Amino acid sequence: MLRRNIMSEFKGSNNYVVSEELMRSVNIAIALQKPLLIKGEPGTGKTMLAQAIQEALGKELIIWNIKSTTKAQDGLYVYDTVQRLYDSQFGNEGVDDIGKYIKLGKLGEAFDQDKQVILLIDEIDKADLEFPNDLLWELDKMEFYIPETQQTVKAKIRPIVIITSNAEKELPDAFLRRCIFHYISFPDKEMMEEIVKVHFDNLDEKLLEQVLETFYAIRNIKEVHKKPSTSEVIDWIQALEIAGIDPEKIYKEVPFAGVLLKKTEDLAIVEKAKEKKFQVTRW
The per-residue pLDDT for 5 is 39
Q: Tell me the CB-side half-sphere exposure of residue 8, using CA atoms within 13 A.
A: 3
Other C-beta atoms within 10 Å of 161: how many?
25
Q: Partners of 39 in the beta sheet?
A: 165, 183
Between helix 205-219 and helix 264-275 the angle, nearest 10°, is 110
pLDDT of the residue at 257: 95
Per-residue DSSP letters for 210-231?
HHHHHHHHHHT-TT-SS---HH
Reference 237, options 263, 200, 273; nearest CA is 200
Q: Any idea of the CA torsion for 184, 225, 64, 59, to the nearest 10 degrees?
A: -30
Q: What is the CATH number of domain 20-184?
A: 3.40.50.300
- 142 DSSP 8-state letter: S
Q: Can you give the pLDDT of all 283 residues of the chain as single tens digits?
A: 554 433 443 443 445 556 788 889 999 999 999 999 999 887 777 888 888 899 889 999 999 999 999 999 999 998 888 887 877 777 666 677 787 888 999 999 999 999 999 999 999 999 988 899 888 888 989 999 999 888 999 999 999 999 999 877 788 999 999 999 999 888 889 989 988 998 898 999 999 999 999 999 999 999 999 999 988 999 999 999 999 999 999 999 999 999 999 999 999 999 998 877 776 444 4
Rounded distance between C-alpha atoms, residue 185 and residue 90, angstroms:
57
| 94, HSE (Cβ side, Cα atoms, 13 Å) | 4
Amino acid 53 reads I
Per-residue burial over 233-259, b = 16 or more CB atoms within 10 Å of its CB, e = otherwise: bbebbeebeeeebeeeebbeebbbbeb
CA angle 191, 51, 174 (to 5 degrees): 90
- Please report the pLDDT score of residue 10 as a whole number: 40
